[in-house]
Amino acid sequence: QSALTQPPSVSGSSGQSVTISCTGTSSDVGSYNRVSWYQQPPGTAPKLMIYEVSNRPSGVPDRFSGSKSGNTASLTISGLQAEDEADYYCSSYTDSSTLVFGGGTKLTVL
Amino acid sequence: QVQLQESGPGPVKPSDTLSLTCGVSGHSISSNNWWGWIRQPPGKGLEWIAYIYYTGSTFYNPSLKSRVTMSVDTSRNQFSLKLTSVTAVDTAVYYCSRTHCSSSSCYIDYWGQGTLVTVSS
């Protein structure tokens, strides 16, 4: 299975919005709503931010939102805050009943 | 609160077998969840390795399948990973995890703190 494709880096000023894309294939992202997003600050374990494309776990700010169109899922962070600076990873369920991650995107808050 | 804790023997020599165990507390491993492993080489991204159901059913990353075996011990509420014939490219932080899958979703909701495994002679 090939890793999902994410941009290596994105940046935005405090208060602005950024969107991180996650492109897969018809064998994963395109066929399932089982797409999730994780936030990983340096030196820590990843944290679930979005599941089932657009659902937020309890405790995750509503500034975080997710969507999907075809083979591409997206994570949007609005009202950027300094604490949002981290690496972000998408993940999808696959036709083989496995999971696959994206390569990760480093978010810099200017 | 679900807690997962990785444990292992420390450094591993090339060609040896890497063995890790994940102890689960605060939740029965015999539940409707999948228990798995993810790794992250230093400075790189996440790679999904495998997961197991308490019944013993397993799914593996195709790229690692020939070298990976997972097992579960419901009496000790823990599960394990074995990776054979390791090389330097297997050096990584290994995370154990709980994955919740349903008809409409499949996501990792709990992670261990991670343990760095270094492959070196």
- pLDDT digits 0-9 by tens, A2-55: 999 999 999 999 999 999 999 999 999 999 999 999 999 999 999 999 999 999
d(CA A84, CA A107): 8
Do the Cβ atoms of A52 and B105 come within 8 Å?
A: yes
A99 shares contact with chain B (CB less than 8 Å): yes
From B36, B107, B112, residue closest to A45, measured CB to CB: B112
CA neighbor of A66 nearest in space, from A29, A27, A41, A103: A29
Q: Is B2 on the interface with A (CB under 8 A)?
A: no
Give residue B54's Cα distance to chain centre: 14
DSSP state of A67: E
Q: What is the pLDDT at residue B107?
A: 97
| Average pLDDT over all residues of chain A | 97
Q: Is the pLDDT of residue B9 over 90?
A: no
pLDDT (mean) for A53-64: 97
How much is the pLDDT for B10? 81
Give the residue among A108, A94, A107 at the shortest CA–CA distance from A38: A107
Q: Encode pLDDT of B17-46 as tens digits.
A: 999 999 999 999 999 999 999 999 999 999
Between A53 and B10, name the one with better pLDDT: A53
Minimal C-alpha gap between B14 and chain A (Å):
25
Q: Which residues of B touch A45 (CB under 8 A)?
A: 95, 111-114
The sign of the dihedral angle between the CA atoms of B71, B74, B75, B77 is positive
Q: Distance between CA A59 and CA A37 in Å, rounded?
A: 15
Question: Cα A2 to chain center, whole Å?
Answer: 17
Mean pLDDT of the A59-88 span: 97
pLDDT band at B12 (very low <50, low <70, confident <90, very high): very high
Q: Does A66 touch chain B (CB under 8 A)?
A: no
> Which of B46, B61, B63 lies at the smallest CB-CB distance from A46?
B46
Residues B88, B83: Cα–Cα separation, whole Å: 13
Amino acid A1: pLDDT:
80
